[in-house]
């Protein structure tokens, strides 16, 4: 099931639980604006090449729209639409004053030189500069983009609008980026797990964890869990997987991956197949990679008691049903991975104030937002007698619906 269908399905279920008016429901589902632009650049050898860029601005009832820009060969309007809509609910769940957006360019970034990527980013910015802005739509990095990409967007945008550091987040610290932003999503995942486990009467230090995906989010989550005394018994990424029932030494594994570029051949663990990771023996499973990894084929074999969704949409609705029948509790993506956008909000606030925070303050505020959001989500579960995913969706959808009605959408 593709991401858009699954997201719409979750939204409709939440709308039903909340008893939303059908006209309002339809209005909330339709994006505010869809942008599709052609980006032609000269390659380093002088030939011209064209790419298609997208930006979907889903909703701005609660504030400026917010969401990443990804450079990936499979960027299409359906996927961008689903992710923009998810951002609308996600920002509402953690109660930051944003709506949702998402964008991307269909390209293979590793096949482009740095100067080609820069030209592509600048052309894309030229095409959308009058449709983004500090109080309109604030992009951020996503798959295939990074702080450098944001620096180019900032520079190109500033040529038209004057110095505007708050137009993008996830920037290099030297250009107004926030301390703590790099670790934010992984740290948010750990704070979400901590809040959820406390409610179950458990602590991170007493449990075992398996982490799928060892990029930015997975490696930070592993590092922080290790520091808190939790046992990370298995990790995987595209290069392979390693396990150690007594717990992997995460700092050594990080050094090994940095030195060799891969997880396998790590002396402190045994090699396992990457496919086995999702069904590995552990208390908590944290998928941090791609969507749709837990599906009807493998859900039956999952041994974890708890799943914390650090990736976007890692669990198919069919897998959701199988897992809930087994009594597996799932902390949903629209809450669990909201740490990144929360610290993006802090970065935006710091840029607007022209006053930067120290890292300790960033992390303390992040913990406060993640913990409060969990309690609000839990209240929704109790009010509507639903699982955590529907608790999160009803919380997010209800906030956006209320803002829309208060602004007078029928006028």
Q: How far is CA 371 from CA 190, 325, 352, 368, 398, in A?
A: 11, 27, 25, 5, 19
The DSSP code for 408 is T
Q: How many CB atoms lie within 10 A of CB 106?
A: 16
Q: How far is CA 343 from CA 57, 113, 131, in A?
A: 20, 30, 23
Of the candidates 184, 154, 209, the residue with the CA atom closest to the CA atom of residue 364: 184
User: Could you tell me how many helices (H) and strands (E) the chain has, helices first?
Assistant: 13, 12
**Is 331:206 a contact under the CB 8 Å cutoff?**
no
Q: Are strands 208-212 and 284-287 parallel, antiparallel or unpaired?
A: parallel
- Rounded CA-CA distance 124/347 in Å is 23
- Rounded CA-CA distance 219/222 in Å is 5
- Known catalytic residue: 102? yes
Residue 55, strand partner residues: 35, 103
| Residue of 90, 102, 171, 231 with catalytic role | 102
Torsion sign, CA atoms 152, 366, 234, 255: positive
Of the candidates 288, 241, 291, the residue with the CA atom closest to the CA atom of residue 269: 241
Of the candidates 256, 236, 253, 233, the residue with the CA atom closest to the CA atom of residue 244: 233
Q: Can you say how many angstroms the Cα of residue 291 is from the centroid of all Cα atoms in its chain? A: 11
36 three-state secondary structure: strand
Residue 258, strand partner residues: none
- Rounded CA-CA distance 49/26 in Å is 39
The DSSP code for 28 is H
Task: For 140-165, give the DSSP string.
Answer: EE-TT--HHHHHHHHHHHHHHHS--G
The values of phi and psi at residue 382, to 5°, are -70, -40
Residues classed as catalytic: 102
């Amino acid at each position: 099931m593709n991401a858009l269908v699954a997201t719409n399905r979750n939204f409709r279920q939440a709308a039903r639980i909340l008893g939303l008016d059908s006209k309002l429901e339809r209005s909330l589902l339709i994006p505010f604006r869809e942008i599709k632009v052609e980006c032609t650049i000269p390659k380093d050898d002088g030939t011209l090449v064209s790419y298609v860029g997208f930006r979907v601005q889903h909703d701005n009832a609660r504030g400026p729209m917010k969401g990443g820009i990804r450079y990936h060969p499979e960027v299409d309007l359906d996927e961008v639409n689903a992710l923009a809509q998810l951002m609308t609910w996600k920002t509402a769940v953690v109660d930051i004053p944003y709506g949702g957006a998402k964008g991307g360019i269909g390209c293979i970034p590793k096949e482009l030189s740095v100067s080609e990527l820069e030209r592509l980013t600048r052309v894309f910015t030229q095409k959308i500069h009058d449709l983004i802005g500090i109080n309109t739509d604030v992009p951020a990095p996503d798959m295939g983009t990074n702080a450098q990409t944001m620096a180019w967007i900032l520079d190109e945008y500033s040529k038209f609008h004057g110095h505007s550091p708050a137009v993008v987040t996830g920037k290099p610290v030297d250009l107004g980026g926030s301390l703590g932003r790099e670790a934010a999503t992984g740290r948010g995942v750990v704070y979400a797990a901590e809040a959820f486990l406390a409610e179950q009467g458990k602590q991170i230090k007493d449990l075992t964890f398996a982490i799928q995906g060892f990029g930015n989010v997975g490696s930070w989550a592993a590092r922080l869990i290790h520091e808190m005394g939790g046992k990370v018994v298995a990790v995987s990424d595209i290069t392979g997987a390693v396990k150690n029932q007594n717990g992997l030494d995460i700092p050594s594994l990080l050094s090994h991956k940095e030195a060799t570029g891969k997880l396998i051949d790590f002396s402190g663990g045994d090699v396992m197949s990457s496919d086995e990771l999702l069904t590995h023996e552990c208390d908590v499973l944290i998928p941090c990679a791609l969507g749709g990894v837990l599906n009807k084929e493998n859900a039956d074999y999952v041994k974890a008691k708890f799943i914390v969704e650090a990736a976007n949409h890692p669990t198919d609705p069919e897998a959701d049903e199988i897992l809930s029948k087994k009594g597996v509790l799932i902390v949903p993506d629209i809450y669990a991975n909201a740490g990144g956008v929360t610290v993006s909000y802090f970065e935006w606030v710091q840029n607007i104030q022209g006053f930067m925070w120290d890292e300790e303050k960033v992390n303390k505020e992040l913990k406060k937002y993640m913990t409060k959001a969990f309690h609000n989500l839990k209240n929704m579960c109790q009010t509507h007698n639903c699982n955590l995913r529907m608790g999160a969706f009803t919380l997010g959808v209800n906030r956006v619906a209320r803002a829309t009605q208060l602004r007078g959408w029928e006028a």
